[in-house]
Structure 1
Amino acid sequence: MQAPEIHPQAREYLDRQERLPLYPLRDRNLRFLRSLMRVTDWFQNRNPPVVGSTEDRTIPGPAGDLPVRLYRPDGDGPFPTVVFFHGGGFVLGSLGSHDLFCRHLVRESGCVVVSVDYRLAPEHPFPAAVEDAYAATEWAAANVETLSGDGRLAVVGDSAGGNLAAVVSLLAAERGGPDVDYQALVYPGVGITGERPSAEEHTGIVLLEEDLEWFRESYFGSDLNLRNPYADPFQAEDLSGVAPATIITAGFDPLRDGGKAYAERLVADGVPVRYDNYDDMIHGFATAPGANGIDRAHELVAQIADDLRDAFGLEAEPRE
């Protein structure tokens, strides 16, 4: 499940992160932390990969206007649509924190991407993020022409966003819509309860135990909520109706075993699953591509794009 050593680029990334005086996160002022991360996002997103177009707008949400960022590929379309949910422990993260990931996904997949700026905890604990995520997916399904879409729909997310993508897939199956054709979950925060060897072995690499506890307290609030399948879809009694899935984990990630266990649950309930474990990678590597980052992030985006194309019946495009 894990390589003998962390990949050298991932190790360099960790070394750079350790020089930032941010950890443990729960000891920092949350407003300052979010502001600092916005500045970091701005530097990271300079000279971003070009896509056909981007548009920041709001859509109707359960608590008022819900900000989203629309990314369209080159061409006239119509295109399949991907609704994307960012990670950050339900407490951090933004449209900016995952801008590069969304741009690469648009370029690789040829899909429209709708990135959702859902409400964050602790100001808005569970189920606020779930409500926003499901509302955004309903909106995407109902606004095909606005998106230059063709009616095909997938949900994608990393970490906390992977949890939300899985929950949206479950809700869509239970409520009879919208029709979700595929879900891609990148080191998702699922299978949270119970003892997991990866949590014991790799907490402290990117994710400190204090930070994991802070995220849980801020969003879930209580152990009772953790047993709710809309907080953790691993708790669902029946997953047989959810969309086919790609599930990706990282070898040196405390969330690894929960993601693997969820993949096994889906397979047991008859859901087609492609599971891949990047055995020399760490939590968060998907959003560290390119220069001074992690090259395997590009490999991950390409894999997700290929799986989306397969699910949508699209021809693969040659890569440079």
Structure 2
Amino acid sequence: MPLHPEIARILADLPAPPPGPLDPAAMRAGEEARVPPLEERLPLHDVRDTIAVTSAGEVPVRVYTPTGTDTSGLVIYFHGGAFFLGSLDTHDHIARQLAKATGCTVVSVGYRRAPEAQFPAGLDDCYGVVRWATDHGDELHWDGNTLAVAGDSSGGTFAAAVAALAHDDGFDRITHQVLYYPSLDLDFDTDRYASLRENAEGYGVETAGLPAFNSFYFDSGADPADPRVSPIKRGDLTGLPAALIVTAEYDPMRDEGELYGARLTEAGVPATVRRYAGANHGFVQNFSWIPEFAQVFDETAEFLRQGK
């Protein structure tokens, strides 16, 4: 189907990016300026900021408790933003919707970002918070069963990498991984995936811009050949948690997510790949107010209700 008309209309009205190199500080400020005030956000039983003291250091987190029930599953959420953008505030609405739809306590992670932090600081923060959350399960009202990692775009990269790191460490508590249009192969050779060519221009995220957007991460020491950076490079996917991989029809990174799902299935890992027709990269963050795209949260809830 064609690009959703509401997305097409908004993309058509977007101003051209300023000339010259990307300016992280200006781009972050622009994102933060669009965060709605607290009174306009989805209300939940409790939302609080705290500090997770982890093996990687102190990491700011935001804990979303959807209801007053005694216990629930846990979702550890990593925001997107090409490893240098995004924050607890810019992705607050995703965490709130995840908590409401799933009934799980959601812990959103304010990990360190490039270019200020060197690789693997952000990844270490994400993994450290997962371990911290299980150590503090009682205060988070964790039921001891469902423990999911979730992320959108580069946050999906972190979610996949954390699941693999945990497996390699013998930490088997993660039951699910939820990857929204993940960036799983940071080798941007356009011959690698058809979607890099088919969706190269006109859909918000453009293939030609991917190297520049990821350059801050690369300059921080992230090597695209490293499976911690490009999870699809991992040779052995056996034993990883069950996966829900959500892709978008008009996303340059669509095919790498779908290939990863196929490889997980081949490795014996339960994997569900769901392509959203008419959607573009970033639709969970930017367009989940469109009813057919809001279904992604209900689909996530259904996936988490399934067993390992």
1:40-55 alignment, distance < 5 Å: 40-42=34-36, 46-55=39-48
Change (3 A) 1:111 1:222: closer
**Aligned residue for 2:109?**
116
**Aligned residue for 1:317?**
none
RMSD between aligned residues: 2.0
1:150-299 alignment, distance < 5 Å: 150-152=143-145, 153-193=147-187, 194=189, 195-204=192-201, 205-221=203-219, 225-289=223-287, 293-299=289-295
Structure 1 segments of 4+ aligned residues over 6 angstroms from their partners: none
**TM score, norm. by length of structure 1:** 0.89
Change (3 A) 1:178 1:41: farther
**Gap runs ≥5 in structure 2:** none
1:142 to 122, 135, 141: 135
The question of 1:30 aligning with 2:24 is answered yes
1:307 to 284, 303, 308: 303
Kept in 2, the 8 Å contact 1:53–1:73? The answer is yes
Give 2:303's aligned amino acid: D
- In the TM superposition, what is the alpha-carbon distance from 1:7 to its structure 2 partner? 1.1
Query: Distance in 2 between the 1:219 and 1:113 partners?
Result: 26
- SS of the residue corresponding to residue 35 of structure 2 reads helix
- In the TM superposition, what is the alpha-carbon distance from 1:211 to its structure 2 partner? 3.4
Query: Distance in 2 between the 1:60 and 1:199 partners?
Result: 40
Q: Name the count of aligned residue pairs.
A: 303
**Aligned residue for 1:10?**
7
- In the TM superposition, what is the alpha-carbon distance from 1:178 to its structure 2 partner? 4.8
**Gap runs ≥5 in structure 1:** 313-320
Query: Distance in 2 between the 1:104 and 1:188 partners?
Result: 19
**TM score, norm. by length of structure 2:** 0.92
Kept in 1, the 8 Å contact 2:119–2:222? The answer is no
Q: Name the % identity.
A: 34
Query: Distance in 1 between the 2:24 and 2:222 partners?
Result: 25
